């Protein structure tokens, strides 16, 4: 077996051991009439739950050695060290150390069967939702947390929150402002027609590639799916309306109109001359220095492209063009920061989480998103966009009984909403490498989706 196969079996074994351990713990709690991990106020000096009572302490009263586990191996020795220094300005008696894991899920899951998985970490997505309370400290009641934070419902259990997103990201079009100015494009294009017109100006008046697909890397094409909500103009489309439509790729449907733009810009020669030889790492540098005008990517890529050269101030992000009545940036939660229920330094852990979410600047500066805290202002450029009417919204969750249904249909159909093969076919058809029209491609998607819809969801 190769290394990946061995790691897979180790991780799966750890999950099975964890679930088994959780079951016995739950049975013991039930037999003792205990409320289990939700009764966490023992270490607090007041009757309030720990997630409330720690705030009653003076910052200098909070002390201890804190281990924070992260996946950011690239900045653990630089940015995170600066975080610790700034944190200590407010909490001088907490000693913070960091541990970075290269394969975060694969490395932390075996440790979950012990109590040694740091004081603060990211809640592993491999832990079954119902088992989360056995390992992590609660942050508060969901109805109260939702008033102040975005995305906390994703890892909540029975109305209690156990994780807060370290960032909330979105998908749009990253662009070079200097190239747009040189091309004579004065305003951010709002509609698909305006966007194509802007790309044509760029091709005519500059040496920059109007839109870079990153076809050869493949995965960047999947980033387009993150902006479907913008095309639809409704947060209900993805998890609600689409579940009622057995043929969501008909003309006029959001997905049809969305990928028609991908096809049109490729067919009209507004992309790289030879998509088969694109290079992701090089594309970041090329966009920074003005050789590329636009790329469709998640906001996570913004910081990477800004930092890929000397012209970071030229790089911004705009909404995906839409003909809908309103412009929506759909938001998605990043990893959730969490606290080990076995930590001996929970007050310090709560202090770190609170500081990290509200004061570190990580969500914008390192994750290219916005803060999960509604108290933290939007970045300047997005705040200006909000004044123009841009909306930032989480997707409406799937109705009860239909959670996961869209993913099941997608996998059965092999359309691959978040996969690259069919997106590559679309580009190939557009540049003449396949004898297919755009409608031919959409019809094939519809046929596959409809058959899967009938099998999975019925009529």
- Cβ atoms of 255 and 228 within 8 Å: the answer is yes
Domain identity same for 144 and 261 = no
Question: b/e for 294-303, b at 16 or more Cβ within 10 A?
Answer: bbbbbbbbbb
Is residue 387 in some structural domain?
no
Token pair, residue 98, equals: 């960091």
Q: What is the pTM of this model?
A: 0.79
Domain identity same for 307 and 439 = yes
DSSP result, 407-441: HHHHHHHT--TTSSHHHHHHHHHHTTSSS--HHHH
CA distance 26 to 34: 9
CA distance 295 to 226: 13
Is residue 116 in some structural domain?
yes
Domain identity same for 232 and 161 = no
Domain identity same for 76 and 115 = yes
CA distance 404 to 407: 5
CA distance 333 to 321: 23
CA distance 308 to 285: 5
Helix, strand, or coil (residue 147): coil
CA distance 230 to 42: 47
Question: b/e for 443-453, b at 16 or more Cβ within 10 A?
Answer: eebbebbbebb
**Domain endpoint, select from 351, 368, 385:** 368
Domain identity same for 284 and 412 = yes
Is residue 33 in some structural domain?
no
Domain identity same for 135 and 186 = no
- Please report which residue ranges of 32-141 form alpha helices under DSSP H: 50-53, 79-90, 104-108
State the total domains in the chain.
2
Q: What is the pLDDT of residues 240-266, one digit of tens each?
A: 999 999 999 999 999 999 999 999 999
Domain identity same for 68 and 185 = no
Is residue 25 in some structural domain?
no
Give residue 311's domain range. Answer: 170-332+399-456
Where residue 309 sits, what CATH number does that domain have?
3.40.190.10
Backbone angles phi, psi at 298, to 5 degrees: -75, 160
pLDDT tens track of the chain, all 459 residues? Answer: 444 444 444 444 444 444 444 444 443 333 333 333 333 334 434 467 898 889 999 999 999 999 999 999 999 999 999 999 999 999 999 999 999 999 999 999 999 999 999 999 999 988 888 899 999 999 999 999 999 999 998 888 999 999 999 999 999 999 999 999 999 999 999 999 999 999 999 999 999 999 999 999 999 999 999 999 999 999 999 999 999 999 999 999 999 999 999 999 999 999 999 999 999 999 999 999 999 999 999 999 998 999 999 999 999 999 999 999 999 999 989 999 999 999 999 999 999 999 999 999 999 999 889 999 999 998 888 888 889 899 999 999 888 788 789 999 999 999 999 999 999 999 999 999 999 999 999 999 999 999 999 999 875
Is residue 379 in some structural domain?
no
């Amino acid at each position: 077996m190769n290394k990946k196969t061995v790691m897979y079996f180790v991780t799966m074994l750890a999950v099975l051991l964890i679930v088994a351990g959780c079951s016995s713990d739950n049975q013991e709690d039930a037999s003792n009439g205990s409320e289990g991990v939700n009764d966490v106020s023992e270490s607090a000096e007041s009757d309030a739950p720990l997630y409330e009572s720690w705030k009653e302490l003076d910052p200098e009263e909070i002390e201890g050695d804190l281990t924070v586990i992260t996946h950011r191996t690239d900045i653990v020795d630089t940015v995170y060290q600066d975080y610790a220094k700034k944190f200590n300005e407010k909490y001088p008696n907490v000693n913070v150390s960091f541990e970075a894991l290269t394969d975060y899920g694969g490395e932390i899951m075996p440790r979950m069967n012990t109590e040694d998985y740091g004081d603060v970490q990211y809640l592993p997505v491999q832990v079954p939702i119902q088992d989360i309370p056995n390992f992590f400290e609660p942050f508060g009641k969901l109805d109260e947390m939702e008033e102040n934070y975005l995305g906390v419902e994703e890892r909540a259990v029975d109305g209690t929150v156990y994780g807060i997103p370290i960032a909330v990201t979105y998908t749009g079009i990253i662009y070079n402002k200097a190239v747009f100015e040189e091309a004579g494009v004065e305003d951010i294009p709002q509609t698909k027609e305006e966007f194509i017109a802007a790309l044509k100006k760029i091709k005519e008046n500059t040496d920059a590639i109007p839109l870079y697909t990153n076809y050869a890397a493949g995965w960047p094409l999947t980033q387009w799916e993150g902006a479907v909500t913008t095309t639809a103009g409704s947060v209900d489309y993805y998890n609600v309306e689409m579940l009622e439509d057995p043929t969501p790729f008909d003309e006029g449907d959001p997905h049809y109109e969305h990928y028609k733009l991908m096809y049109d810009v490729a067919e009209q020669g507004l992309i790289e001359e030879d998509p088969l030889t694109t290079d992701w790492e090089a594309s970041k540098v090329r966009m920074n220095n003005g050789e590329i005008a636009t790329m469709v990517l998640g906001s996570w890529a913004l910081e990477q492209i800004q930092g890929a050269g000397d012209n970071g101030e030229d790089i911004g992000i705009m909404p995906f063009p839409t003909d809908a009545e309103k412009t929506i940036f759909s938001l998605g939660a990043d990893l959730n920061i969490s606290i080990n229920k076995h930590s001996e330094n929970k007050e310090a852990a709560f202090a770190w989480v609170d500081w990290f979410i509200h004061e570190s600047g990580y969500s914008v500066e390192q994750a290219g998103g916005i803060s999960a805290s509604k108290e933290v202002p939007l970045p300047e450029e997005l705040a200006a966009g909000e004044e123009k009417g841009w909306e930032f919204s989480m997707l409406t969750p799937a109705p009860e009984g239909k959670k996961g249904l869209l993913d099941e249909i997608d996998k059965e159909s092999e359309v691959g909403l978040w996969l690259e093969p069919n997106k590559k076919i679309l580009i190939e058809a557009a540049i003449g490498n396949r004898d297919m029209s755009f409608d031919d491609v959409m019809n094939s998607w519809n046929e596959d989706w409809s058959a899967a819809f009938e099998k999975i969801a019925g009529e």
